[in-house]
Amino acid sequence: MSTYWIQNARIIDPAAKRDALGDLYISDGKFVATLSAAAKKRAKKIDATGLVACPGLIDVHVHFREPGQTHKETIATGSRAAAAGGFTTVVCMPNTAPVADNAGTIQLINDSVRRDAVVRVLPTGCITVGMKGAALAPIGSLKRAGVVAITDDGDCVQSNELMRRACEYAKMFDLPIMDHCQDHSMTVGAVMNEGVMSTRLGLRGWPNAAEDLIVARNAILSEHTGAHIHLQHISSRHSVDIIRRAKARGVKITAEATPHHIALTDESLATYDTHFKMNPPLRTEEDRRAIIAGLRDGTIDIIATDHAPHTDYEKDKEFDFAPNGILGLETALPVTLAILVRQEKFKLPFVIDLLTRRPAQLLGLPAGTLAAGAAADLCLFNPNEDWAYDAKAGFSKSSNSPWHGATLTGRVKTTFVAGKIVFAQGKIL
């Protein structure tokens, strides 16, 4: 392995509360405190003047579509998009085809990861068989196969009793449950947020209450069972309030927000552009502000992308029939910086923490730090560089992004995984 000497960077390591100009050293795939004089002579030097050096970003919510939906994305293309976005660890959702509800499918995914991935790709397993919400999947077998969490993401478990049993088993096997909070009975035929815009556009509305009910249910079940429930892509101001009050009681829940829910509102759907159609839907400015407030005070723990690739021909349909979801990995950092740092005046180390140490801590991953001895997963980015995002020229297999053609500020320059450069100068290496 190569030895690297990264010079003159602004080093931000939230785990060590470090924010200072300095140098970083990498040897044998790990960060080291320093290099010998001889090692410095042979080290590959990277001038990082003007760049931020932080732990590799971590995304606990992506869809790489393999197996079975590889026309949208593969582990190879998805992991390349991750590397281009500065992410070094991602957690894949199990709603593949077949769904990841057994050890055999997890093994298939892990084989593809070992063969094709350029970043660390970790699998999740289903809560229920077939993601049908009727019977529990073999949670112990899934844990032994290597899953880091269980979730029926996209198909929220509707039975409170079944979810209770899932919590009990998940706690037994020390696995967090990730839940997509949606009461299906309230969202039949719904395609966007219920409100003024849905009425104006003549589209079936999706009320905040459909999320709020399940968030409250999960807070109650977490308190009842002691299980860790992670609430995915929170979009409702009422849900933020429920989570805040539950955390004040010591309930073991965590929550995530997406870049698109802190940046966009349902006003974006005025032209029926399906690139703004997602689940949960974009909501109102009041909801957006509440999510940002939840990030500020720690009610919402992390940023996650919900990277959800779809082909052009799938998205190019009448609004009612187009699938939900957008790309997120290559735009997450600049969009988050634009909203939280430049608009909301969050401190940059705090925002980096939302994308590194906190998601690692949430899943108990040995990542999210620049400490000596840790695996050298590193993101170098220029927080001030403007660039035009072309989704069709990106590394994902799909191009369904609301930011296609936009000028973004903040660009990833180099991504290291285990001391190896996997992305640099706009290319996968």
pLDDT at 279: 97
Q: What percent of the chain has pLDDT over 90?
A: 100
Which of 59, 91, 53, 86 is CA-nearest to residue 75? 91
**Residue 114 CB burial class (10 angstroms; 0-12, 13-18, ≥19):** exposed
Domain limits for position 16: 4-52+374-428
Known catalytic residues?
Answer: 306
**Do 210 and 331 have their domain in common?**
yes
**Do 418 and 390 have their domain in common?**
yes
**Do 350 and 281 have their domain in common?**
yes
**Do 114 and 195 have their domain in common?**
yes
> Into how many domains does the chain fold?
2
Task: Give the pair of three-digit tokens for residue 156.
Answer: 């929220």
Beta-strand relationship, 427-428 and 420-424 = antiparallel
What sign has the CA pseudo-torsion 12, 53, 339, 423? negative
**For the chain, what is the largest distance between any 2 Cα atoms, rounded to a whole number of angstroms?**
70
Report H helices in 252-304: 259-263, 285-297
| CATH code, domain with 254 | 3.20.20.140
pLDDT at 387: 98
How far is 68 from 65, CA to CA, in rounded Å? Answer: 7
pLDDT tens readout for residues 50-80: 999 999 999 999 999 999 999 999 999 999 9
Q: Where are the beta strands (DSSP E) in 214-275?
A: 229-231, 253-257
Contact by Cβ (8 Å): 105, 98: yes
CB-CB neighbours of 140 under 10 Å? 13
Q: Is residue 369 a part of any domain in this protein?
A: no
Does pLDDT of 1 surpass 90?
no
Torsions phi, psi of 98, nearest 5?
Answer: -75, 160
Chain-centre distance of CA 44, in angstroms? 32
Give the list of residues 6+ apart from residue 418 with CB closer than 8 angstroms, or none. 29, 375, 376, 377
Q: What percent of the chain has pLDDT over 70?
A: 100
Task: Give the pair of three-digit tokens for residue 59.
Answer: 């995304």
For 316, the 3-state DSSP assignment is: coil
End-to-end CA distance of the chain: 15
pLDDT tens readout for residues 100-126: 999 999 999 999 999 999 999 999 999
Contact by Cβ (8 Å): 300, 255: yes
**Do 67 and 45 have their domain in common?**
no
Give the list of residues 6+ apart from residue 62 with CB closer than 8 angstroms, or none. 78, 82, 90, 91, 92, 93, 305, 306, 307, 328, 329
Omega of the bond prior to 349 within 30 degrees of 0, cis?
no
Chain-centre distance of CA 364, in angstroms? 16
* Exposure class string for 355-394: b at 16+ Cβ within 10 A, else e: bbbbbbbbbebebbbbeeebbbbbbbbbbeeeeebebeeb
How far is 288 from 266, CA to CA, in rounded Å? Answer: 10
How far is 83 from 363, CA to CA, in rounded Å? Answer: 20
**Do 136 and 257 have their domain in common?**
yes
The amino acid that residue 306 corresponds to is: D
**What letter does residue 298 receive in the DSSP assignment?**
T
**Do 321 and 172 have their domain in common?**
yes
Average pLDDT over residues 275-288: 98
Contact by Cβ (8 Å): 379, 330: no
pLDDT at 317: 95
Question: Which helix (DSSP H) or strand (DSSP E) does residue 248 occupy?
Answer: helix 237-248
**Do 134 and 22 have their domain in common?**
no
CB-CB neighbours of 219 under 10 Å? 22
How far is 340 from 10, CA to CA, in rounded Å? Answer: 19
**Do 409 and 348 have their domain in common?**
no
**Do 147 and 73 have their domain in common?**
yes
Of the pLDDT bands very low, low, confident and very high (cuts 50, 70, 90), residue 393 is very high
Does pLDDT of 160 surpass 90?
yes
**Do 180 and 155 have their domain in common?**
yes
**Do 133 and 40 have their domain in common?**
no
Chain-centre distance of CA 256, in angstroms? 8
| CATH code, domain with 48 | 2.30.40.10
Last residue of a domain, one of 363, 394, 418: 363
Q: Is residue 170 a part of any domain in this protein?
A: yes
Contact by Cβ (8 Å): 138, 190: no
Last residue of a domain, one of 344, 363, 382: 363
pLDDT tens readout for residues 262-280: 999 999 999 999 999 999 9
For 418, the 3-state DSSP assignment is: coil
pLDDT tens readout for residues 295-352: 999 999 999 999 999 999 999 999 999 999 999 999 999 999 999 999 999 999 999 9
Number of residues written out for the chain: 429
Mean pLDDT estimate for the chain: 98
Average pLDDT over residues 182-197: 98
